[in-house]
Every structure is written in C-alpha cells, then in structure tokens.
Structure 1
Amino acid sequence: MNNTTWIKKNYLRIKWQKLIVVSILIGFLSAFLGISLKKITEYYEDIFFNQTESNPLFFILFPVFGLSIIYFLRKYLFRKKENKGIKEVFESTNSTSKNLPLYKIPSHFINGLLTVIFGGSTGIEVSTVVASATIGAVAQRKQNVFRQYKTELICAGVAAGITALFSSPVAGILFALEVISKRVTRAFLISNLIAVATAFGLVFLLNEKPLFIVTITTWHLRAIPYFILLGILAGINSVYLTRCVLFFKSQFSKIKVQYFKILTGSLLLSISLFIFPQLYGEGYHAIKTLFAGSNEIPLSFSLAFTFIGIILLKPIVTSITLASGGDGGVFAPSLFIGAFLGLLVALILNTYLNANVIPVNFMVIGMAAVLSASIHAPFTAIFLVCGLTNDYTLFIPILAVCLISKYTAKLICPFTVYSYSPSLSK
C-alpha cells in the first residue's frame, strides 16, 4: 500500500468516525429538545385550557397575549427576523449559501410553546422540526469535513426530533426522506439511523408513553369501500387546509401594521375558541375525549352540526394563527381534522346505512389519511400514527387509505403548504 492510498483510507476512516460521533450528539440534543418542548407544552396547555373552562373570558385574553409576546420577542430579542417554518429547512438544504442560524433553536422553541399554550390552533411539530434541523445545521458547520453532508445532518436532526415527539424512529427517518431529503445516500443512512437510535434510546430511558391510549382489536374486509370513501374525503379536506393556510397568509400579508394583524387574528381566534373550545391549542385533549367515548356516542343533528363546524373551522383558525404571527404548522391540525372526520363518517355510516363499522378504527385511519395528504408523505403518516397509538393492527387499511388520500389531494392540488411557490399556482 503506497503512502497516498494509506492517507486517503485513514482520512475516510476518521471522517466516518466523526460522522458517527456527531450523529449521536445530534440525536441526543434533538430528542432532548423535542421531549422538553412536548412536556412543557402539555403541562402549560392543560393548565391554561382548564382556566378557560372556568372563565371563558380567557378565550379572549390568551390569544392576544400570546401573539403579542411572540411579536415583542421577535422584534426585540430575535432582531425582527421572522420564522418561515419548514420552508427555512428547504431553503437551507437546497442552497450552499443559506444556513439555519443558531437563534432558530430558541426562537422556534419559545414561539412554538407560546403559540400553543395560549390557544393558537396549531402544534409544536414544525417548531421542533426547524429547531432540531438547526442543531444538525450548526453541527455541520463546526467541521470542514462535514461540508458535503449538510442535508444529511439536517435530516438527522429532523428525524431525531420527530422520533422524540411521536416515539416512532421509522416515522422520523421517513419524514426526513419523504419531505426533506428525497434521496438516500450512505451518509444519510448512517447519520439518520444513528440519530434516531439515540433519540429512541432517550425516549425509552424516559419511559415516554404513547400520546393516545387506544384499544384496536380488529378490522373487517366489508369496511374497505368505506375506507376508500374516507381516503377521498381526507384528501379533499387536506386540500381545503392547504388552501386556507395559503389564502389567509396572503390576506394577512396585506396588513402592514403588525399589531393590527395580531388584533385581527386574536379576535377571530377568540370567537372561534369561544364557540368551539375543542379548537384550543393542538386539540389533542379533544381527540383523547373522542377516543374515550367513540363507541358510545350516538349521532344527533346537533352533534353532526358540531363536528362539521369543527372540521370546517379548524383549517381557518389554524391559518389565522399562523398568518397573525403564531409558530407552527399543519401536523397537529391534520391529525385533529382526521380524527373528527373519521368519527363523523363512521357515525353516519352506522346510523343511516347500518354499516356496523368500528368508529375508533375510522378515527385512527382518518388521522393518518389527512396527514398523508397534507404533507404528501403517506409512509411517514402511517408509522407516525401507529407510533402515536402504539398499535399496528390497522397497518394495511392505513396504508391503502393514506395512498388514496395523497393522490386525491395531488389530483386537486399538486403542492402542499411546505412545497408551495407562487409559480405553482399559475
């Protein structure tokens, strides 16, 4: 072996060793950030939501207070730099000159937390994704040897963050692949597998429980036509969500005075929360309530009207939350819409067609279907929802319905909130 060959092999060995070490570090930090944000958000959201139940006046005060604090933090602490959500990650991975600066970690962590706990109708998932992506981006810039692995290390942070939130390492890797990277390299596999293994190890060590406690026993072949119907409806609802987000962001961008934007958004959000408290924050409290009583809920006109109102209004209040300065995305809203849509479809089928379908199954499948269509990532949605419930009984129908919902959505609208650019709508 000549000297040049030995130096080259030694350099490669050192480079892969460093990549392994930095992937462990990214995995741990991203998972720690994700779990911390989830725990803090759950704790304070529960406290503030209970306050609104005892005094509805807080439905008016909380949104304006939360959005105002975010505005002042952005203006004075984060130097008037706005958060663009996952588009920031796309811009960074698609450009050698654009980077995710370090301040994105505290900015998204704090703003995501404040948005949700004070009633903003979105979730912390996108805040976690961008913050954990920044951890990967910062790590990549620390060593020249990682210059060529920018996308891989950003994806490692994202995958670890998703793993921490949903206790599903497969969903973490698939989200990084389907939404961010869209290609597999050896460095991607090594860094992402190590990062999610580290993240899942921390999840296991901290004994993190599934978000939803659900008992799923079986599913029946006779329900397949109804699953197809649910997939189509989920695709349509996801397009409605996407269009709402884009429309309200466009309309609110015309308001030049930032505080007018906050007051307008807060007023609309407060009215919506007062009418439908289920829309408060992530909405996971409402989903848990539905799961607990889904098999005993009788369909009535008022219940159907409530469900339809919630399904139609959720995309609007989510869009208003984001357009008026809140931090978040469409993850939690998609799961929320899917749960209510699935249960409504099941109740209608059982009441009027005597279909004898299992409501809880339709809730779980609906959650995965709307998420799949909203982000055009069916395999991420499958494993994410199965991780949320810690149950894979419905894997086959979820797979089929997620594919149906995605392609239904793509047929109507070729882009998502994340992939949209003005040229695509022309």
Structure 2
Amino acid sequence: MQKVSNRNFIIILAFVVGIVGGIAASLLKGLTHWIASFLQDDIDWHYKYSLYLIFPLIGILLSVIYLRKVLRGKKFEHGITPIIYAISRKSSRIEPHNVYSQIVTSALTVGFGGSSGLEAPIAHSGAAIGSNIGRFFGLSYKEVTMLLACGASAGISGAFNSPIAGMIFSIEILLTEFSIPVLIPLLISSALAAVVSKILYSEPLFYTSVTGWEVNALLFYILLAVIVGLYTIYFSKFSQYIKKLYSNIHSPYMRVWVSGLSLGVLIFIFPALYGEGYLTIQQLLDGQFNAIVKNSLFADYRDIGWVIVAYTVLTLFAKSLAALVTVNSGGNGGVFGPSLVMGGLLGFAFAYGINMTGLMQLNVPNFVMAGMAAALSGIMHAPLTGVFLIAEVTGSYALMVPLMIVTSISYLINRNGMHHSIYTKVLAESGDLISYEDKDRSVLSMMKLRYVIETNFIKLSPQETPTERKKDIIHSKRNIFPIVEADGKFLGIIYSERLFAILLGEEEGANRNFATLAQKPNDIINVNENMDIVMKKMNREDVWILPVIDNNGNYLGFISKSAVFNKYRALLMRQGSYLE
C-alpha cells in the first residue's frame, strides 16, 4: 500500500475534525436550547416567571459544582485566550476534558439564562478535538496547531452555520501565518461542520431580508463605525476592570452568589439580558422596534420613541456588565456572542434615533447588522470575521460594502486605543503572544526556557577555596563557575579569569572561601520567565550568559545566547518545512 503523504494525512484528519466539531456544535446548541425551552415553555407553574431572576444563579452554580466535583481539580479555562496561550506556550496541547466540559458548563450557564454566548465554548471544544486528534497520531507542533485551528473553525462554523466565517476566524485570531496549505484543511473542516450542523440542528441564527444599502446613507455608516469603535474601547477597558474586581473574590461559591444576584437584578430591570440575547436582535431585525421595552418595567412607554432609544442604550451598557459578570462568575461563556448583541443594540439605537430626528430615514435592520459586524471587529480585532459572519448568517452579501467600511473603521479605532484585542492583551503583557508582526518575538515565544538551560558547569561550594578546587578549575571548559550551597541555593558566580589570577598569585585570595569571593551576576533568570523577557535582560545588561534559578532560589544552570540562537534556528527550520 502506498504511503499517505504528510499533507494528505492532515487533510484526512481535517475531515474527521470537521465532522466531530460539527456534532459538538449541534450538541451544544441543542442542549442549551432544550434547557432554555424546558424552563420557559415546558414547565407550567404560577411563579415561574419570577424564578427567571434566579435561574442564572442556578446555572452558574451547577456549572461550578460540575467543575469542582466532576473534574476534581483539573484545570478548566474558558474563552478564546486559553486557546491562543496553548498555541503560544503549550505546544498547542489542550486537555481532553475540554471536548465535553466546555459543552456541559456553557449549556448550563447560558441555558439557565447566563448573559453570555456559546461561540467561545464551542470554539474551545472544537480546538480541543483538533488538538487531541493531532496528539493521538503523534503529529508535530505545527500540525497539531493546524488541527486545533480546524477544530475551532468547525466549532464557529457549526454554531453559526457560517463556514467562511469559521475559517477566517481561525486565520485572524489563532494562526500567525497564512498560506494555501493552511487554507485547505480549514476549508474542509469548516464546510463539513456546517453540513453536519445543518443536518442535526438546522435552526438558523437570524432571519432577515436584506434589500441593499443607500449610497446617501454611507456617511451614517461611517459615523456608526466611529461610535461602535469607541464603545469597543470602553468595553475592553471595562472588561479588565471587572476581571480585576473578581480576582479579589477567592471563593468560587462567593463568585456564584455575587454574580447570580447581580444578574438577577439586571435581568429584572432589563429582561433582554436573559440568555444569549439573540432573540432581541431577531425582533429588531423583524421590525419590532418596541420589543426591547415591551416586557420591561417601562412597558407602558413602549410607544414613545425616545424612551425606546434611551432604554436601548441603557440595555447596551447593562449587557456589557451582565456579560462580563457571567464570564467571570465561574460559569462558562464568552464575549463573542455578547459582542454581536451589543453591536446590534448600538446599531439599532443609532439608526432609530436618526430616523426620529427627521434628518434621514435609515434602514434600521441594516444598521443593526452593521453594528454587529463593527462590534465584533473592534472587540476581537477580526474585521474579516465580522464581515463574513454577518453576510452568512443573514444569507445575503448585499451589505458587503457597508460591512467592510464599518468593520475596518471600528478595528482601526480599537487598535489605536488598545493595540491588542480583548483576547490577546493579557498574553501580550506577559510576553506569551505569538504575533506575525514581530517574527523574532513570535519564534522566541515558542521557545521553552527549560529546553535551553545548560547544566555542564562545575559547581563550587561556599566553604571551599580556589586552592582546594585548583584541578577542577584548570580543566574546566567553561569560563564561569556557579557558587551553590549544599541545599542547592544559588549564592553567586565567579569567572575563570579571576580564579586564574588568584591561583597564579596575581591577586590575593587563594585560601579565601568562595563565599567571600562570590560575585553578584548582572541579572538572574527565573525558570518560569518567557524567552522574550530573557533576551531583554541579556540585551539590557549586554551579557552573553546568565544563571537560572527556580522559585525557591535554587540553582538550575545557565542560559546563553548561543543556546538561544541555536534553538531559534531550529525553530525557523521547522516552520519552513511545515506541510512540505
């Protein structure tokens, strides 16, 4: 039998990942909507609607219980950021339990009314499917990364029935380089996931009819893009603030209570915050412009235009709080879906408000869709994903030009204000982000410090003297000696030049112990520091070699620029031979 080439084998696995990813997406959507339908429609009791206020708390609590009792201490992370981190620092290894844990926890969180989206969890589940299939077959880092991206593409494609957006999502968010060999597996996985999802769960995300766009409305699309771009900066900064607040709450169950009660209050005032929020967007696309107010405390004023606009704006800011509370609560969800909802609300408030002024009559549903694309582009730094996602989920490419304009402007505004997306800011600050804009830093971030530590150095004891270790010093092939205590604590260093001067009588100290002769190194490297920080320390001190210690101050070895450069060349060669 003829041996299957590496490239063809990857394509075969892309088929498998696409099918399994599509099944996972259908399962998540079906399970979530079954829970929501069961709570809202199938159960009939007198006080059911008042319990909507505590359903989100119950969902988050069940999710936390699952994580603590079923996973039993296994590390669980949610969102897109851990996927990017896995690519950058974990050789694209994602724990297998994420295949099902992401589905279970997000279905509980969102199905019970948590104000977040399913897209990030299903992308994470799909990425875990691709990663573990690649690892099962013993593939290389780049090949596992490829399948990881295929899985994420399949998840997004299956969730939205949008294969092109799924593929572009992985290219814009996860992969640092683009080439035709990368494109083909992504296309296959996304397409198959969309087919499987359509067979198993065919309900579309949105229904709408697009009638095209007016040239004289172009200025208003630009203005909307500027407003959305500024809002995405606010949301990104607000996200950091909420995350910092939650970092001070150490008890997972306290987080549940704080989040659950907060969501209950928010949903009581703004019913549109219950669940994903897509139902509200669908009503706006259908022309039911007062639907957002109709079921609220202000239902009596639902026919007053300015009340609708003001209440929509308040709901928009409440949605940002509710989404971030849900994401940080201990439940599972992402900001992908909330980005769409917030953008849709902002687009509606803008267009509806302009129409009320009489300046011009804008097509409100078109601006709802434009706002969705712009928000996704600005928050995620994914303009192409925003364009094609909205085009695909609405079933029309008639708005391509306005979508291209609003996504570009929103992206540029957010990037100018934040530089990094909501997913990558933390990784960029810690030096764990691979960026195609900085090839050297990208390759360095792929390097693991423990693999370039050199240990063939002669260790000297603080109590010993140069005379006692004369033979070892003379025959050493290294020009630097670590001085290490008996328990492994690193004390300092001493160079061979100084030792030779002492042994030859050019400098006093032949009978002094090394504790008194020890020199402080220019800097010290902690084993947990990434390579970008290591190189910055070396360049700042203009040194070729530095000692490495662990968190307890114990000596581990040295790291030299020579070892780093050799590893750097090896990684470049491995990247160059990818899929050849």
Common fold by TM > 0.5: yes
For 1:76, the equivalent position in structure 2 comes to 69
Deviation (angstroms), 1:17: 3.0
**Structure with more relative contact order (C-alpha pairs < 8 Å, separation 6 or more):** 1
1-structure distance, mates of 2:399, 2:40:
32
Deviation (angstroms), 1:63: 1.9
For 1:379, the equivalent position in structure 2 comes to 384
The superposition leaves residues 56-105 of structure 1 with CA deviations (integer Å, 9 ceiling, x where unpaired) of 42133212211111111111111232314212211221135562011011
Amino acid at match of 1:267: L
Amino acid at match of 1:33: A
2-structure distance, mates of 1:156, 1:73:
28
2-structure distance, mates of 1:102, 1:245:
28
For 2:499, the equivalent position in structure 1 comes to none
How does 1:210-289 map onto structure 2 within 5 Å? 210-289=204-283
Deviation (angstroms), 1:295: 6.9
Q: Does 1:37 align with 2:5?
A: no
Q: Does 1:157 align with 2:151?
A: yes
For 1:307, the equivalent position in structure 2 comes to 312
After superposition, the Cα gap between the structure-2 partners of 1:359 and 1:294, relative to the gap in structure 1 and judged at 3 Å, is farther
Amino acid at match of 1:258: P
Amino acid at match of 2:219: P
Bigger shift: residues 199-208 or 155-164 = 199-208
How does 1:178-217 map onto structure 2 within 5 Å? 178-206=172-200, 208-217=202-211
**Aligned-partner SS, 2:213:** coil
1-structure distance, mates of 2:248, 2:197:
43
Q: Does 1:114 align with 2:108?
A: yes
1-structure distance, mates of 2:290, 2:267:
26
The superposition leaves residues 351-410 of structure 1 with CA deviations (integer Å, 9 ceiling, x where unpaired) of 114311111111111111111111000100111111111111111111111101111111
Please tell me whether the aligned partners of residues 249 and 322 of structure 1 are also in contact (alpha carbons under 8 angstroms): no
Amino acid at match of 2:351: A
For 1:5, the equivalent position in structure 2 comes to none
Please tell me whether the aligned partners of residues 338 and 367 of structure 1 are also in contact (alpha carbons under 8 angstroms): yes
Please tell me whether the aligned partners of residues 15 and 145 of structure 1 are also in contact (alpha carbons under 8 angstroms): no
In proportion to residue count, which structure has more strand?
Answer: 2
**Aligned-partner SS, 2:54:** helix
For 2:136, the equivalent position in structure 1 comes to 142
2-structure distance, mates of 1:53, 1:196:
45
Amino acid at match of 2:344: A
1-structure distance, mates of 2:361, 2:107:
41
After superposition, the Cα gap between the structure-2 partners of 1:423 and 1:197, relative to the gap in structure 1 and judged at 3 Å, is closer
After superposition, the Cα gap between the structure-2 partners of 1:130 and 1:345, relative to the gap in structure 1 and judged at 3 Å, is same
1-structure distance, mates of 2:152, 2:305:
43
- Determine which of 398, 406, 411 is the counterpart of 1:406: 411
| Bigger Rg, which one | 2
Amino acid at match of 1:116: V
2-structure distance, mates of 1:226, 1:148:
44
For 1:61, the equivalent position in structure 2 comes to 54
1-structure distance, mates of 2:163, 2:346:
27
For 1:317, the equivalent position in structure 2 comes to 322
Amino acid at match of 1:389: T
Bigger shift: residues 400-409 or 199-208 = 199-208
For 2:365, the equivalent position in structure 1 comes to 360
After superposition, the Cα gap between the structure-2 partners of 1:296 and 1:336, relative to the gap in structure 1 and judged at 3 Å, is closer
Q: Does 1:124 align with 2:118?
A: yes
User: Where does the alignment leave 5 or more consecutive residues of structure 1 unmatched?
Assistant: 1-9
2-structure distance, mates of 1:96, 1:312:
36
After superposition, the Cα gap between the structure-2 partners of 1:290 and 1:131, relative to the gap in structure 1 and judged at 3 Å, is same
- Determine which of 1, 4, 7 is the counterpart of 1:16: 7
Bigger shift: residues 285-294 or 31-40 = 285-294
After superposition, the Cα gap between the structure-2 partners of 1:128 and 1:17, relative to the gap in structure 1 and judged at 3 Å, is same
After superposition, the Cα gap between the structure-2 partners of 1:53 and 1:415, relative to the gap in structure 1 and judged at 3 Å, is farther
For 1:417, the equivalent position in structure 2 comes to 422
User: Where does the alignment leave 5 or more consecutive residues of structure 2 unmatched?
Assistant: 292-302, 431-580
Please tell me whether the aligned partners of residues 119 and 156 of structure 2 are also in contact (alpha carbons under 8 angstroms): yes
**Aligned-partner SS, 2:207:** coil
* Paired residue total: 417
After superposition, the Cα gap between the structure-2 partners of 1:47 and 1:223, relative to the gap in structure 1 and judged at 3 Å, is farther
- Determine which of 325, 334, 345 is the counterpart of 1:340: 345
2-structure distance, mates of 1:183, 1:299:
51
Please tell me whether the aligned partners of residues 213 and 389 of structure 1 are also in contact (alpha carbons under 8 angstroms): yes
After superposition, the Cα gap between the structure-2 partners of 1:299 and 1:354, relative to the gap in structure 1 and judged at 3 Å, is farther
Deviation (angstroms), 1:329: 1.2
Please tell me whether the aligned partners of residues 104 and 134 of structure 1 are also in contact (alpha carbons under 8 angstroms): yes
1-structure distance, mates of 2:283, 2:78:
32
TM-score, normalised relative to structure 2: 0.68
Between the aligned residues of both structures, percent identity stands at 28
After superposition, the Cα gap between the structure-2 partners of 1:58 and 1:388, relative to the gap in structure 1 and judged at 3 Å, is same
Deviation (angstroms), 1:215: 1.4
Deviation (angstroms), 1:186: 4.5
Please tell me whether the aligned partners of residues 92 and 131 of structure 2 are also in contact (alpha carbons under 8 angstroms): no
Please tell me whether the aligned partners of residues 294 and 360 of structure 1 are also in contact (alpha carbons under 8 angstroms): no
Bigger shift: residues 405-414 or 272-281 = 405-414
**Aligned-partner SS, 1:184:** coil
2-structure distance, mates of 1:422, 1:147:
20
Bigger shift: residues 395-404 or 79-88 = 79-88
2-structure distance, mates of 1:204, 1:324:
32
The superposition leaves residues 316-363 of structure 1 with CA deviations (integer Å, 9 ceiling, x where unpaired) of 111111111121111111111111111111111111143111111111
Let me know the Cα RMSD of the aligned residues: 2.4
Amino acid at match of 1:268: S
For 2:529, the equivalent position in structure 1 comes to none
After superposition, the Cα gap between the structure-2 partners of 1:389 and 1:368, relative to the gap in structure 1 and judged at 3 Å, is same
**Aligned-partner SS, 2:425:** coil
**Aligned-partner SS, 2:116:** coil
Please tell me whether the aligned partners of residues 149 and 187 of structure 1 are also in contact (alpha carbons under 8 angstroms): no
Bigger shift: residues 406-415 or 377-386 = 406-415
TM-score, normalised relative to structure 1: 0.92
For 2:395, the equivalent position in structure 1 comes to 390
Bigger shift: residues 341-350 or 286-295 = 286-295
After superposition, the Cα gap between the structure-2 partners of 1:15 and 1:29, relative to the gap in structure 1 and judged at 3 Å, is same
Amino acid at match of 2:192: T
Deviation (angstroms), 1:424: 4.2
Amino acid at match of 1:160: A
1-structure distance, mates of 2:46, 2:316:
21
Amino acid at match of 1:24: F
